[in-house]
Amino acid sequence: MLNYVMDQIPDVDFFDCRVSTADINAIQALENAGFRFVGKEVYMARSLVQSPVPKEYGQTDCIPCPYELQTEVLELTKKTHFHNRYMYDPEVRHQDAVNVYRKYLADLGFKKEFRTMIMRNGQKLLGFIFYKYNNVLSQIVGNKYASLDFIAVNPEAQNSGVGEALNKAALFDLVRSSATHVVVRTFGSNYPAIRICQKVGFKITSSDLHFHLWVRPRAQAKHRLQFIVFTGNRPSLASTKFII
């Protein structure tokens, strides 16, 4: 079935596949087809009903991101987000991996459905978090779900409580939007992010493995990396086509 699907998409240069860590048969099928393991993602969840958010979560120094600071927020992604699957793909140059994430965030983070909190010290941006109330998922499962999607802390401000404060501020804001459950997805090697999420009440619920396949000879990833990033129903050009 895997080979059939791949044969039906002849103009694709790159495949990105996500599979449950418990699905050994699927993992072996991917490896037999030439896919390379590039990392694990963990999923975490927090109930805002069973474990209400303390009032102190609304007393951080975090503020909604003003329009004029959006460029500065995106610039911070160049210094962070080392824990993503493209960083662990030997076919992708480091700078290309950074650019992919930056373009992905630029195309996604400041859309209408997303919210952004930032933390500053004077004129210095310490960190930001993207999050949203997920209307589609809420309608499907019957609860009011939200997600914390991306967080970045300035390397100069790490281990100072910035990440924890941003998570708290986002959770407090989501409570005011009547969210009942919040989910997080992060790379399995991103131990600082996992630790912070656990400190504010998140628990690991599942994990997935990521596999990449560069189709030869069409893809020449080391020389040129072009991506179509899927952000909802409409693909947008971020810089060889790939399937997520």
pLDDT tens digit sequence for 58-88: 999 999 999 999 889 988 877 776 677 888 8
Give the per-residue pLDDT at 194: 94
**66: exposed, middle or buried (Cβ count in 10 Å: 0-12, 13-18, 19+):** exposed
Q: Bridge partners of 41? A: 187, 208
Q: Output the average pLDDT for the chain.
A: 84
pLDDT tier for residue 224 given thresholds of 50, 70 and 90:
very low
**92: exposed, middle or buried (Cβ count in 10 Å: 0-12, 13-18, 19+):** buried
Structure tokens at 240: 């060889």
CA torsion through residues 229, 234, 240, 241, sign: positive
Tell me the CA end-to-end span of the chain in Å, nearest whole number.
Answer: 17
CB 207 within 8 A of CB 41: yes
CA torsion through residues 123, 157, 165, 136, sign: positive
Q: Bridge partners of 46? A: 182
Instruction: Tell me the residue type at 203.
Output: K
Give the count of alpha carbons within 13 A of 177, CB side only. Answer: 23
Stronger pLDDT, 208 or 79, i.e. the higher one: 208
Whole-structure pTM value: 0.81
What ranges do the domains of the chain cover? 39-208
Give the per-residue pLDDT at 48: 95
Cβ neighbors of 200 (< 8 A, separation 6 or more) are: 46, 57, 164, 167, 168, 171
In angstroms and rounded to an integer, the radius of gyration of the C-alpha atoms of the chain is: 19
Residue 229 to residue 240: CA distance in whole angstroms: 11
User: Is the confidence at residue 150, as pLDDT, over 80?
Assistant: yes
Tell me the backbone φ, ψ of residue 110, rounded to 5 degrees: -105, 20
Query: Closest by alpha carbon to 119, among 167, 80, 82, 77?
Result: 167
Q: Which residue has the tokens 């480091």?
A: 94
Q: Which residue has the tokens 């399937």?
A: 243
pLDDT tier for residue 105 given thresholds of 50, 70 and 90:
confident
CATH architecture of 39-208: 3-Layer(aba) Sandwich (3.40)
User: Is the confidence at residue 237, as pLDDT, over 60?
Assistant: no
